[in-house]
Structure formats: structure tokens, C-alpha cells
A and B are shown apart, each in its own frame.
Chain A
């Protein structure tokens, strides 16, 4: 088990290196010069050149990359061009806001998605099942930003019951977390439903019935535990998509999280902050997947031997 985790962590470092290298390269290849952005349209070429030299941007990309990597292994993620503070500190300052949003959304999706999926499976091919399935198919198909805007129009402008942007009270959390949770919730419903329907005819479910267990004692431990094994894997992968979703949702609802920091930093060509934010999001993704894999081994004892 320890060796397994160590191996996974080693690969995790590799993934993080890949992510940050790609973003490093992409940032420098797309048009737009941080020095120009910082100095504004009135700056003359000499000023720009001087600033570029001070920021180290006059060096060849490969040299910049070498310097950056040297710093990163020492856990120095560079400075923000804009705020002249440590880039990682700047991102980390906004992390709690994103975490609050993500955790609320995941909880919402799990608390609603699992029960709906179970109900749909137990009432398969009835009206209840159809309604749930159509609802989940619809929400899965709608893009985040569109749902966000519609929710704002309905609940903030129309009914005027919830705030449309910013952060502060729990009411501020409602619309962005619902927006973020919906596609995730929809996938959970569909996976739980199909997973449960798949195992409901398995031999061990028949055995559970033959044991004279109550229907509840048949479905919950025996069927659901098996049905959840494949669901958990997808939940882990979907968590990555949810992190991507925060970038859009935070922008739509002006939520001061890592996603919005990322978008702003990109438009200001604030390389250090963009790299730090990407690194953080990638790390969250990698850690989630590791947790899911370990959970998988817990849920399915057959995997433990192979691990």
C-alpha cells in the first residue's frame, strides 16, 4: 500500500511538471507582452525594453524556463508582475473562496445526484424515471455560462430573491454553486441509475433476496456498494471538469476565487500568477484522483491485491 502511494505520488509530480511546462510555453508563445500591458499604450520602446530586461523576458525562452524550474523546485513560484507580491501567495489567498464554492457544489451534487439516481433505477421505466432522466440529460447538455446567466435573470433580476454576484452571505453561494453542481449532478444521476440497474440482476443481489433480506437491506449494502465502484472513478474525473467549471462560473458570478484570478492574470499577461494558479488546479486534480484510487481499493477488495 505504501509503495503504491509512493509510486502514485511520483507520477503526480510528473503530471504537475507537465502541466506547468505546457502553460509556461503557451503563455510565451501567444501574442501579448506583459511589459506593454503594464506600461500602457503610451510607453516608448526604450521603457518597454528596460522593463522586459528587468523582468527577465529578454532572455531566450529556454533560459527563462531553466530559471523558472530552478526556482520551482525550491518552491519559489515567482512574483506577480502586477502586484509585485509572491505569485503563489496571491493565488492561495483566493483558494478558500474557490474551495468553498467547489465543496458546496460537490456536496450538492452528491446529496441530490445519488438519491435521484437510486430512485430512477428503482423506478426504472416509470414516469418518475423518465422525468429524472430527462432532467439530468437536459442539465448535462447545457453549458455552465448559459445556465449561470439564466439563473441570474430568473432569480436575481426577475424574482429578486438572490444576489447575482459577489460573495458574503450564504445567499451569494446559492446561484454559483447550483450552476457548478448541475452538470456534475446530472452525470451522477445517470451513472448511479445505470450502475444500479446493471448490478440489480447480478447473482449476489438474487442471493441477498434469497436470504430473505428486506428490500432496503438488499439495495443499500449489496447492490449499491457494487454499483458505486464505477461511479466513483468517474466522479474523480468529473471533479477535474468541475475545477475547470469554476473558472467560468467564478467569472459569470464575479466570485473572487482562483478561477477569476486566473482569467484576470491571463488578460494582464501576469505569467507568474497564471503559472501558480494552473499548478494549484493541477495539484487539486491529481490529489483528487489519488484519493479516488485509494477509495476504489477500499470499495473493491479485488483491486487491493492487484495494487
Chain B
């Protein structure tokens, strides 16, 4: 982070920057670091990630496998797999209080009640040997002290709300008796049982049939609107993000490489990685075009290159990129909320404009 770079000077806020709802963020992650010990060495899965989530907004975290997006969400939930993984630094402030410095018992009480999570694969995320009524009802029994009977009734009600047909008949069924989409609805019912203020959805549609993916996303969007909750949507599907997210956070090799409002980042992407992802979206207007993949392979976290981690795959890479690790900077000429970790962000956005 030393030496002058093409954009160290601060830019004033451009006139067109969207105004954001005032007030404190619901969740504020600052300089989060998570490491995993493996046989081959220590992996920095999350390496200095910072972002805010405001009340009622949807933040999308995008990135390929191993970019640290899921580990970030596990860290927020306090469920980083132990003993291999551990949070080594940073702060996770929820309603102002740092979750990392509070006793585990207190943080546990927030899980499911304030912050909930929906996982990628609903089949492995539901317990195969318990009836779903039990698994949903557990939220009411353990957190709210409901009786078994009341918890079961509450479970039926929730199942109806997330669109599971014949809920009363199916409440005593087991997970394997449901389809993938229905299982994910059950997971969503569990997550939303106690009206959390923040929902973390970790690739909620990846394991599902394409036909039900849209249904699940619509359901999540509807429930979010009804509850007024915030959502962190983790995905690698840019198409999904465009419809539901307010802001986006691009991650690569454990770091944030670009962030900003969704339209801003889509239309004026300032990091070559974001650019590459955009280019690899199939264009339905020209379905015969070949897709343009990002060259090279995902980074080896055990052996990251010097300077910028994306350098080996980057068409813009120069000597500066090898010498100096670009921090996350405001992209010149763009709204203040648009940040990118690239020495040549302005050049990249200029390219994008030309392309359009």
C-alpha cells in the first residue's frame, strides 16, 4: 500500500451518486480475516474484507469458489468450521456491537433470531432423520419456549407462508420425501421462523433445478419485502444478482476487488475480474456467440502471486501490478461508493464504455 498510484488522490463525490438512506448500518464488517490451517500450509480464506449492510437492503457477494464469500458468511454467523478455521482479525459489528469480542453464548442467541442463514444444498443441510415439522419447530421450541404442539402448529403456518402445498399433511414427512425446491423452501422457513433482521443466503439456488431457481429467488425477494429485512446474497450468478441486489461486493482470493451500487458496477465495472465475469455471461440476443471465459485458472490460495492476486489472469497487468498490491480505492470520475482494487481502474472503466 505504499507509493503513489494512479488514483490515490481523493475524488469528490460526483453529482450523480445515489443518495443512501441515512442511519447506522445494521451490519458492519471491518478488516475481517479468516485463516484455515491445512496440511500444505495456512490459507488466508478471507483477507481484510470490509463492508456494510444497511437496514432493508440486499448486498450481493459475488465470486468464484474459494474467493472467500462463503467463509465471510460463516464468520458473520460465528460458524467457521473449527479447529481448521479461525477468525484472526477484524470486527463484525451487528447493531453496533462487535460479535467477535462478545461471549460465544451471547452470539449464539443472535443466530436464528437476528441473523439467519440459508445454505446452498438443502438436502445435506436438513437433518435426514428428523421430521421437518420438528426441524422447523425447533426454532420456536429452543428460542421461544413453545410446547411441541404449538411449535408444530407454528411450523405448519410457516410452511404455508413459504408456499409448501398441503403443509398440514406434510409436516411429519422427512426431508428425503420432498423435492429440491420444496427442501429449500423448508430451509427458508427455518431461517425466517423468528423474523430475523438479516438473512444470509449462501448460493440458495445453486443446487436446484433451473426451473425452480427463479421461484426460490422470487420467494426470497417477496419475504424480504414483507419483513423489511436485510439480505446478504452470496452467489456466483450475475444474472440472479441483477434482479434482486442493491449493491454488490466482488471477491477474489479472499479480498474485495470491487464494490458499488449494482447498476454502477454492471455498467461501469472498474476491475478486470468483474469485467471478465460480465463477458462470460451468455448473451441471449446473440446466442450463437461463443462465451468469453476468464483466462487462466482460479488462484492457489497457498501460493498467491506478488502484488495483485488477479495479475496472472489480467489483460491489463503491468510491472506495477507485480510490485504493488492495489488497495481498494475510489474509482475516479465515478460515484464515491464505487471502489475497486485495481491500479488501472479508470482505464478498465474507459474500456467498458468503449465496449458498450
Contact = CB atoms under 8 A, between A and B. Distances in A.
Interface stretch (B32-40, B116-124, B265-273): B116-124
Contacts of A229: 129
Interface string A204-235: 10111111111001000110011001000000
A302 B129 CA distance: 8
A76 interface: no
Interface string A289-302: 00000000001111
Contact of A208 (B113, B127, B143): B127
Interface in B71-90: 77, 79, 81, 83
Nearest to B84: A201
A300 B174 CA distance: 10
B128 A221 contact: no
Given A204-B127, A300-B128, A302-B128, A211 B174 contact: no
Contacts, number: 77
B124 A203 contact: yes
Interface string A265-307: 0000000000000000000000000000000000111100100
A33 to B, nearest CB: 57
Nearest to B114: A212
**A interface secondary structure, majority:** helix
Given A201-B81, A210-B79, A302-B176, A217 B142 contact: yes
Contacts of A206: 79, 81, 119, 125
Contacts of A202: 124
B72 to A, nearest CB: 14
B130 A221 contact: yes
**B interface secondary structure, majority:** mixed
Interface in B24-83: 77, 79, 81, 83
Given A201-B81, A301-B174, A301-B176, A210 B112 contact: yes
A113 B322 CA distance: 58
A214 B108 contact: yes
A212 B112 contact: yes
Contact of A225 (B124, B129, B187): B129
A212 B111 contact: yes
Contacts of B336: none
Nearest to A298: B129
In this complex, the member of B77, B109, B112, B187 whose beta carbon has the largest number of chain A beta carbons within 10 angstroms is B112
Interface residues of A, number: 25
Contacts of B130: 221-222, 225
Nearest to B143: A212
Contact of A209 (B79, B121, B174): B79
A45 B196 CA distance: 94
B227 to A, nearest CB: 18
A204 B126 contact: yes
B139 interface: yes
B346 interface: no
A221 B187 CA distance: 18
Contacts of A300: 128-129
Contact of B138 (A203, A213, A305): A213
Contact of A222 (B111, B112, B127): B127
Given A214-B108, A301-B128, 5 more contacts: A203-B119, A203-B126, A207-B190, A211-B190, A212-B112
30 contacts: A201-B81, A202-B124, A203-B119, A203-B126, A206-B81, A206-B125, A207-B119, A207-B127, A207-B190, A209-B79, A209-B111, A210-B79, A210-B116, A211-B111, A211-B112, A211-B139, A211-B190, A212-B109, A212-B112, A212-B113, A213-B112, A213-B142, A214-B108, A217-B138, A217-B142, A221-B130, A222-B130, A299-B129, A302-B174, A302-B176
